[in-house]
Amino acid sequence: MPFTPFHLGPALLLGLIVFSYIDFPTFLIANVIVDVEPFLVLALNLEYPLHGFLHSFLGGTLMAFLLATIMSKVREWFAPILAFFKLEQKASFRGVLLASFLGIYLHILLDSPLYPKMKPLYPLDVNPFISRSIPTSFEIYALCTISFIVGIAIYAIKLVYQKKMQ
């Protein structure tokens, strides 16, 4: 899914479900940051695979450490946004690191069945997620869309519950 909003559906849903354990803004960013790779390939007309190194677990691991390091330094910038959406959290490096890994790995797992040339197990030259028993593109996009709708519903319920608790 080159730079599409589809990854935000599972990110929103899962992020709200595990809200107490992960850093929410880091998780949202981690779910889409990997698509900087296909964006740059297309924007700069590079002779490089759309879903290359960053779309592998090895590249994703390096990206997760980089994202966690950056987010741990700039995380306080997100506090006003989180307050506006009533999603306040205390940030911890552990939560930021966990969110980075879970988000990036989720992105790779969602993209792997869609792109036969993708090599999620790089340096191995295989994509074991390509098979007839794995969901189709339509099913993955549908899952992402439904996840977004359910995530919005959970967020709305959370807001109503918070309002009642005041």
Q: How many domains does the chain have?
A: 1
Closest CA to 108 of 148, 60, 42, 37: 60
Determine the average pLDDT of the residues in 74-94.
94
Cis-peptide, bond into residue 38, ω within 30° of zero: no
**pLDDT tens across 105-156, in order?**
999 999 999 888 999 999 999 998 887 666 778 888 999 999 999 999 999 9
**pLDDT tens across 24-59, in order?**
999 999 999 999 999 999 999 999 998 999 999 999
Neighbour tally for 145: CB within 10 Å: 13
State the residue range of the domain holding 72. Answer: 5-165
**Which two structure tokens, joined as six digits, stand for 85?**
């959406």
pLDDT reading at 3 higher than 60: no
Using a pLDDT cut of 90, give the percent of the chain over it: 78
What is the C-alpha separation between 69 and 31, in angstroms, rounded?
16
Question: If DSSP states are collapsed to H, E and C, what string results for the chain?
Answer: CCCCHHHHHHHHHHHHHCCCCCCHHHHHHHHHHCCHHHHHHHHCCCCCCCCCHHHCHHHHHHHHHHHHHHHHHHHHHHHHHHHHCCCCCCCCHHHHHHHHHHHHHHHHHHHCCCCCCCCCCCCCCCCCCCCCCCCCHHHHHHHHHHHHHHHHHHHHHHHHHHHHHC
Which of 2 and 63 is assigned the larger pLDDT?
63
What is the C-alpha separation between 121 and 95, in angstroms, rounded?
25
